[in-house]
A = this chain, B = another copy of it.
Amino acid sequence: MNAPAPHRFALRVYWEDTDAAGIVYYANYLKFAERARTEALLVRGLRQTEIRATHGVVFAVREALVRYLAPARLEDQIVVTTRVTAITGARIAMEQDIHRDGTPLAECRIVLACLDAAGRPARIPAPVRAALGPLVAHP
């Protein structure tokens, strides 16, 4: 069985993303990854603001790993690919790779937890589970 196509999100590197070393500041790759996660939900019709209003839950990052392979620079156009590698009752694991014209720049491994308003683990709402299912990569 083929793996499903990952979600692809393209973005531009602006002055705000760079630092005095002339390259993208290391924390900002996590911003790029978050934008891609939000868009991966939006393209399936899921607004996190509505999920919070309807289901009373938010998604919080529990763990983030970034491996930096090559620097992105001002005005670069880069792409974030997002794969879901696991969904359990209250957690989602994702692989988010960032590249420019096929050159890998960074690899992110993200674990998200679904939390209720009190910050306790909560069951992932069915619509979110249904939306992310097609992104799950089975080995």
| A residues at B contact (CB < 8 Å) | 12, 14-16, 18-23, 25-28, 30-31, 34-35, 38-39, 42, 47-49, 58, 60-68, 71, 73-75, 119
Give the number of copies in the complex.
4
Among B38, B48, B67, B74, which residue has its beta carbon within 8 angstroms of that of A48? B74
18 contacts between A and B (CB under 8 A): A14-B31, A15-B34, A15-B38, A16-B35, A18-B19, A20-B20, A20-B74, A22-B22, A26-B30, A27-B28, A27-B34, A30-B30, A42-B75, A60-B68, A61-B68, A63-B65, A64-B65, A64-B66
Nearest B residue to A67 via CB reads: B63
Question: Which of B15, B62, B64 interacts with A19 by CB under 8 Å?
Answer: B15
Most B CB contacts (10 A, CB to CB) among A25, A27, A30 go to A27
Q: Which residues of B contact A21 (CB under 8 A)?
A: 15, 58, 60
Are A35 and B14 within 8 A (Cβ)? yes
Contact partners of A71 in chain B: CB under 8 A: 60, 119
Chain B residue nearest to A119 (CB atoms) is: B71
| Interface pair B75/A48, CB less than 8 Å apart | yes
